[in-house]
Amino acid sequence: RKLADPNNRINMVHFDPNYIIYDSTSDTTYLRGRLLGKGGFARCYELLDLNSNKIYAGKIIAKTRIAKPHQRQKIIREVELHRDLKHKHVVEFHSYFEDDENVYIVLENCPRKSLVHMLKQRKVLTEPEVRCHLKQLVEAVKYVHNQNIIHRDLKLGNMLLNDHMELKIADFGLATRIGYEGEKKMTVCGTPNYIAPEVLQKRGHSFEADVWALGCVTYALLLGRPPFETSTLKETYVRITSNNYSIPQTVSQAAKSFIQKCLRHDPDQRPTVEELLSDDFFTSGFMPKSLPTSCCTNTPKFPVYARF
């Protein structure tokens, strides 16, 4: 008989038995594992749930870091917006609890890290890969918008990958809820990475700000750099408000057209995420059903399909 598959076992070497975290609300005990990195106020670690033997990603925020009411409110807001979301391509919210020292947000673990790491390794991605990632992204943002939520900080660092290379959007720290049809938000508490011109100019913004960010993400994945990047933030903001960017000829016509639609200066001229799903870009070339983990490090060789 085949012995228990060793691959199913968790490599316990990363979990320190000296760091026990107890969630009294659900009577769950976690072992703290590897540091995943820092995100805002949080130090992020792998957490091993000793009841289920599953690994999660935990955002641990020291209460001393959120002493001021408005800082604490930001955390509560992130939890309230994220906790009810359930979608294949949105990071699963597992639980929220506190102890004397910290506030804990326990989330789905994404072992393949973010598209930032992939792009650092690969420099640029192929169009089939971008079609595959972007389809999952647009489906996730369509779901979030249908919950009347604007993410407002879509960027490569918030696009995470699980062990099956499935994409999950994360971090609702800058997100907001639209209260009524046509409501326009006037401010963002924080600095989105791919910030839209109407957000910069505080002219009122809504779901279209996320479509702008998707255009920036598509550009960055295909070209290895963002569309409005300059050496200073001020200069970048000048380019955004003057819509000053260019798309090199290496980009296919369908990809170029997709980016141009998302980066229209006037938010009312941009397609909705619903409309993006039927954009020609997704049918203009090979669309992989899934991607191999080798894509994290090496350019994939897609089978050359005869195009009838």
**Residue of 84, 99, 100, 153 marked catalytic:** 153
Show Cβ contacts of residue 54 under 8 Å, excluding neighbours closer than 6 positions.
48
| Residue 44 interacts with ligand 11G (CB under 6 A): yes or no | yes
Q: Which stretch binds ligand 11G (CB under 6 A): 35-43, 138-146, 235-243, 291-299?
A: 35-43
Q: Which stretch binds ligand 11G (CB under 6 A): 36-44, 123-131, 197-205, 220-228?
A: 36-44
# of chain residues touching ligand 11G (CB under 6 A)? 14
Residues 197-256 within binding reach of ligand 11G (CB under 6 A): none
| Residue 36 interacts with ligand 11G (CB under 6 A): yes or no | yes
Catalytic residue flag (residue 49): no
Looking at 107, 137, 149, 175, which residue binds ligand 11G (CB under 6 A)? 107
Question: With respect to ligand 11G, which residue has the nearer C-beta, 260 or 293?
Answer: 293
| Residue 40 interacts with ligand 11G (CB under 6 A): yes or no | no
| Residue 48 interacts with ligand 11G (CB under 6 A): yes or no | no
* Smallest separation, CB 256 to ligand 11G (Å): 31
The catalytic site residues sit at 153
Binding interface with ligand 11G (CB under 6 A): 36-37, 39, 44, 57, 59, 91, 107-110, 160, 170-171
